[in-house]
Amino acid sequence: MSKASLLVVGTGLSLTMAMAVIEPQQTTRYSAQPLIDRIAPPAETTMALTTDSAADVVAGAGPNLPLETLAQPAPAPKKANPWIEQTVRTGDNLSVIFKRAGFQTKDVYSIVSQAEEGKSLERIFPGQTLAFQATDSGELHAVKHIRSALETVTYTRSDEGFTSAIATQAPTAKMAWASGTITTSLFMAGQEAGLSQNTIMELANIFGGVIDFVLDPRKGDTIHLIYEDLYLNGEKYKDGAILAASFTNQGETFNAYRYTDANGDVGYYNEDGVSMRKAFLMAPVDFTRISSNFNMRRLHPIYKTTRPHRGTDYAAPRGTPVYAAGDGRVTKAGYSHSNGNYVFIQHGEQYVTKYLHLHKRKVKQGQRVSQSQVIGTVGSTGAATGPHLHYEFLVNGVHRNPRTIHKQLPKAKSLPEEELAQFQLAIQSASSQLAALRTDNRLAMNESDSPGRVQTQLAQ
């Protein structure tokens, strides 16, 4: 071979060697990326490879990252063990419930003594739920105490012992409204309007100082109310408060508005700022269990006379709750041949109310009671042939007609004059809504609704 040929061959070898030095970088830049794409993990797995590591893969220089390892997706996270629920039964204690769930009394002691909220776990009530979660080895890992739909306490085992965490949620209020016309009683009218018994009772409590819902209502009387329903996770949780209500009785209309005064106290007031809460209830009996109430003068079953000057008789099923007409102290609670089971209550210095023929007494002599507190139940003890409540009202020892004496009692509390302007502003929207309901103008009610409120029309 000539020198010229050797020079060419040598030059070619030099170029080849030079290319051999450069080629891995070019391969890394242009050829390694498709290979990385082919071995990349699934999209949900995050993996980063540098250019140098890609070169190592091409050159087979990655002893700790074989291709089959890089191609494997990351293992899915381990699923938590399921919660096993136990409902608290009557007579249960924590040891019994834990044993029923497969755990030991020592677990009870550990939670109660170690967790910040541990002591509260001892306050369990029938119907509540305890949920248990175990480890893979069967040991207790966590306990949930579902106190209510709004509050849950979770106790979790850690290296330092059990810890506790409280989770709470608040219901969402949605506005609703209803109207009804009385044909037999307020209770029936409320039910026909789709109201719950709790809401009907709240309505009666609001107007209980101005209307006797057993004897006053007449056919054709109307009710209108705006109230809130409370929702939790998209489902109705419970009844909310009545925001405003109107009751028209024998042509006279009474309005009531919920208002929080300057002291933070919540109450109901008429449009002039006068409290709806009076010193005494017009009727001291739960009217919801009386289906018809248009009998103004009931003939006494034994004496065959009507005695409005001595008191008022309320015919009602046995067991119907009887309320204290006002705040006071029980001066007598006993039994006699004529009165049967009876309760006498002293209200201040001038007033006494008497409740006769009770089936059961719920209070004792000397006990203080508050207005609307249950003091007994309707019965037929003593001189009575059928279940009824005989109710008497005395002023300075003289019997007075309970149905008319209210007009002579001291006036109810009113909001202070300096607060009336704020009160009128606060009830302006509700007042317009009530007016719209009375004229059945739903469009007007929609337009007058307060900003941010969600309305739910009640099916009539």
pLDDT in tens, the chain (460 residues): 444 444 444 444 443 444 434 344 443 333 334 433 433 444 444 444 444 444 444 444 445 555 555 556 667 677 789 999 999 999 999 999 999 999 999 999 999 999 999 999 999 999 999 999 999 999 999 999 999 999 999 999 999 999 999 999 999 999 999 999 999 888 889 999 999 999 999 999 999 999 988 888 899 999 999 999 999 989 999 999 999 999 999 999 999 999 999 999 999 999 999 999 999 999 999 888 775 545 445 444 554 444 444 788 998 999 999 999 999 999 999 999 999 999 999 999 999 999 999 999 999 999 999 999 999 999 999 998 899 999 999 999 999 988 788 878 877 889 999 999 999 999 999 999 999 998 874 444 444 443 333 333 332 2
Same domain, 185 and 243: yes
Cα–Cα dist 310/402, whole Å: 9
**pLDDT, position 239:** 94
In a domain, 79, yes or no: no
pTM listed for this prediction: 0.69
Q: What is the DSSP string of 241-287?
A: EEEEEEEEETTEEEEEEEEE-TTS-EEEE-TTSBBS--SS-S--B-G
Same domain, 417 and 397: no
CATH of the domain at 116: 3.10.450.350
Same domain, 161 and 178: no
In a domain, 450, yes or no: yes
- CA 424 → CA 226, 366, 418, 453, distances in Å? 17, 42, 11, 20
Same domain, 404 and 416: no
In a domain, 77, yes or no: no
Same domain, 313 and 402: yes
In a domain, 115, yes or no: yes
**pLDDT, position 460:** 28
Cα–Cα dist 417/424, whole Å: 11
Cα–Cα dist 242/143, whole Å: 38
In a domain, 163, yes or no: yes
Cα–Cα dist 146/155, whole Å: 11
Same domain, 352 and 439: no
Last residue of a domain, one of 133, 168, 203: 168
Domain total of the chain: 4
Q: How far is CA 128 from the centre of its chain?
A: 15
Same domain, 342 and 434: no
Last residue of a domain, one of 168, 184, 219: 168
In a domain, 78, yes or no: no
Same domain, 274 and 304: no
Last residue of a domain, one of 70, 93, 125: 70
In a domain, 151, yes or no: yes
Strands 374-378 and 398-400: unpaired
Same domain, 115 and 224: no
- CA 226 → CA 434, 436, 453, distances in Å? 7, 11, 12
Helix axes 3-26, 51-59, angle to 10 degrees: 120
In a domain, 16, yes or no: yes
Strands 398-400 and 312-315: unpaired
Domain holding 359, by residue range, is: 287-408
User: Looking at residue 305, what DSSP letter applies?
Assistant: S
CATH of the domain at 381: 2.70.70.10
Helix H, strand E, coil C: the string for 80-148 is: CCCCEEEECCCCCCHHHHHHHCCCCHHHHHHHHHHCCCHHHHHCCCCCCEEEEEECCCCCEEEEEEEEE
Same domain, 293 and 384: yes
Same domain, 26 and 130: no
Same domain, 302 and 209: no
